[in-house]
Amino acid sequence: MHPMRLARLPTRAVCVRCASRLGNARARGLSTSSSSSTSSSTSSSTSASLTHPPPPRVAIIGSGPAGFYAAGKMLKDEPALRVDMYEALPVPYGLVRYGVAPDHPEVKNCTSRFTEIASDPRFTFIGNLRIGADVPLHSLQTHYSALLLAYGAARDRRLHIPGEDLQGVYSARDFVAWYNGHPSASSLSPLLDAPDAVVIGQGNVALDVARILLSPVDALRRTDMPEYALQALAESRVRNVRLVGRRGVMQAAWTIKEVRELLTLEGAGVVPVPRAMLPENTKVLPRAQRRIADLLVKHTAEPAPGDRVARLDFLRSPVELRPDNASLGRVGSVKFQVNEYVPGADPLDPSARVQAVDAPEEVVPANAVFRSIGYAAEPIAGLDEAGVGFDGRRGLIPNAEGRVKGPGGEEVGGVYVAGWVKRGPTGVIASTMADGFASADTVVNDLRAGLGLGGTGLGWEGVRKEVEGKGVMWTGWREWEAIDEVERERGKALGKEREKIVDIEEMLRVAGR
């Protein structure tokens, strides 16, 4: 028994006769069978409402992959359970809609599964509602059996070096949100009017940024990239992109698909990685690392004349972003320190550490800089009042197998986490799916054991009264379908899948709100 979890939900307001019947049902799962309903049909509806507890209600905060996969697993495993999903934007899908590169439509196919989950009558989507701002977190605790926090990692990590606030310096996350039509980033207007760009970081997001900057714009026109972004990229003068990592090839966080896409990008060439930077014998590497190393070893072709050019630089750390001599408010170059592996470190070890070399620093031209060194979750308002801890250094909510911990390390009953806010911003959608499943299992197992918040069981119906009293314009799945239909119609007229609506007020008008 976990001492901080609250009272057993199934025993709430249950008469002795019904408690026996519910005890048998609990052995089979949370739901009661149709035969139980039949056997009690002689009871009046008033009596039934007094003696039978409401079905368990789970609130999920966040509508990305972690939240949807967790919802689907819980609904599948427990027929009586109901899920209400809360989202700050009027539309669902989180990073699948706003983080996956437009030229990776196959990755977005998971939305078909999410739509299937949303069609379950036990599922409710509530959009355009900010938990912690429009509705306090404790209101959800009042009305639910359990809360699952799955709101992702929205803050990018900064470099903390001089010049980071110069014009032309961007978060890779903001740039990705811009070319994906996120309402908060649609007005970014990145400066792409000069030839040299630097991407600091070597994960998949960094490769996405470089690939989008170097791609022929005609190859992107049939994607769901917004027209304003296509126009800006068509006018872009960026010709050279450096992707710079502070460690070596074997420590880069990219995966083979994204590396191969950059190496084979139409109209662009990648400067070969110096052979000394690559392992002499790639056969000793684990399979994933070996495939990437072999790919880079075999890539020996220099960029052709007229190609846009990508360069992969290793063992370099930025120490200063310098202003352009002709425009002092804008970045013009990046100063890097040279690194080496610490004594005794194995260059093939993915966790190998590096240190600065006592050598002259290097300065490279950069008219646009994109930092891509990771993300972190932020605490939503009301976590403290809910007794939920937050690890600011790691950028996540402390937990044990998805069970949230308080500031002192104690377990907080009935509150759970999934996805990046649980484990940090790592992995791909497949790993997020597995994580969502695992957290769902934890929630269901605890509810089966009678452990939860002990709320009213009203769920959204209870929260809705408070929301409507504040005049908040929330959206449901029907409103999302109306937005989706208009986006697809506009996209069809342009020869693409959809043209996203990037203004929240317009979304609400289209949705009839």
Q: Is 178 annotated as a binding residue?
A: no
Q: Is 66 annotated as a binding residue?
A: yes
Q: Are residues 184 and 286 in the same domain?
A: yes
- Per residue in 492-509, pLDDT tens? 999 999 999 999 999 999
Q: Are residues 203 and 145 in the same domain?
A: no
Q: Are residues 145 and 111 in the same domain?
A: yes
The count of structural domains within the chain is 2
Q: Is 204 annotated as a binding residue?
A: yes
Q: Out of 319, 353, 373, pick the residue that ends a domain.
A: 373
pTM of the model: 0.88
Q: Is 258 annotated as a binding residue?
A: yes
**Residue 28 domain-assigned (yes or no):** no
DSSP state letters, 102-154: TT-GGGGGHHHHHHHHHTSTTEEEEBS--BTTTB-HHHHHHH-SEEEE-----
The pair of three-digit structure tokens given for residue 446, joined into one six-digit string:
């605890």
**Residue 39 domain-assigned (yes or no):** no
**Residue 31 domain-assigned (yes or no):** no
Q: Are residues 215 and 303 in the same domain?
A: yes
CATH assignment at residue 244: 3.50.50.60
Rounded to an integer, the average pLDDT of 65-75 is 98
Report the pLDDT value the prediction gives residue 52, as an integer from 0 to 100. 63
Q: Are residues 356 and 413 in the same domain?
A: no
- Per residue in 198-225, pLDDT tens? 999 999 999 999 999 999 999 999 999 9
Q: Are residues 62 and 133 in the same domain?
A: yes
Q: Out of 373, 393, 411, pick the residue that ends a domain.
A: 373
Q: Is 410 annotated as a binding residue?
A: no
Rounded to an integer, the average pLDDT of 317-342 is 96
Q: Is 203 annotated as a binding residue?
A: yes
Q: Are residues 260 and 325 in the same domain?
A: yes
Q: Are residues 309 and 162 in the same domain?
A: yes
Q: Out of 323, 354, 373, pick the residue that ends a domain.
A: 373
* Spatial CA neighbour of 502 closest among 482, 479, 483, 481: 483
Q: Are residues 132 and 173 in the same domain?
A: no
**Residue 49 domain-assigned (yes or no):** no
**Residue 1 domain-assigned (yes or no):** no
Cα–Cα distance measured from residue 64 to residue 110, given in angstroms and rounded to the nearest whole number:
11
Check residue 342 and report its DSSP letter. P
What integer best gives the mean pLDDT of the chain?
90
Rounded to an integer, the average pLDDT of 34-59 is 52
Q: Is 355 annotated as a binding residue?
A: no
**Residue 217 domain-assigned (yes or no):** yes
Question: Given pLDDT bands bounded at 50, 70 and 90, which one contains residue 467?
Answer: very high
Name the residue range of residue 253's domain: 158-373
- Per residue in 258-296, pLDDT tens? 999 999 999 999 999 999 999 989 999 999 999 999 999
- Per residue in 149-193, pLDDT tens? 999 998 999 999 999 999 999 999 999 999 999 999 999 999 999
**Residue 26 domain-assigned (yes or no):** no
Q: Is 369 annotated as a binding residue?
A: no
Specify the 3-state DSSP secondary structure of 35: helix
CATH assignment at residue 127: 3.40.50.720
To 5 degrees, how large is the angle CA 495–CA 498–CA 502? 130
Cα–Cα distance measured from residue 6 to residue 414, given in angstroms and rounded to the nearest whole number:
7
Q: Are residues 237 and 268 in the same domain?
A: yes
Q: Is 270 annotated as a binding residue?
A: no
Residue 371 bridge partners (DSSP): 171, 200
Q: Are residues 171 and 305 in the same domain?
A: yes
**Residue 419 domain-assigned (yes or no):** yes
The pair of three-digit structure tokens given for residue 389, joined into one six-digit string:
């801890």
pLDDT(38) > 60: no
Q: Are residues 162 and 148 in the same domain?
A: no
Q: Which residues of 482-499 are buried (b: 16+ CB within 10 A; e: fewer)?
A: bbbebbeeebeeeebbbb
Residue type at 454? Answer: G
- Per residue in 450-462, pLDDT tens? 998 888 899 999 9
Question: Given pLDDT bands bounded at 50, 70 and 90, which one contains residue 30?
Answer: low
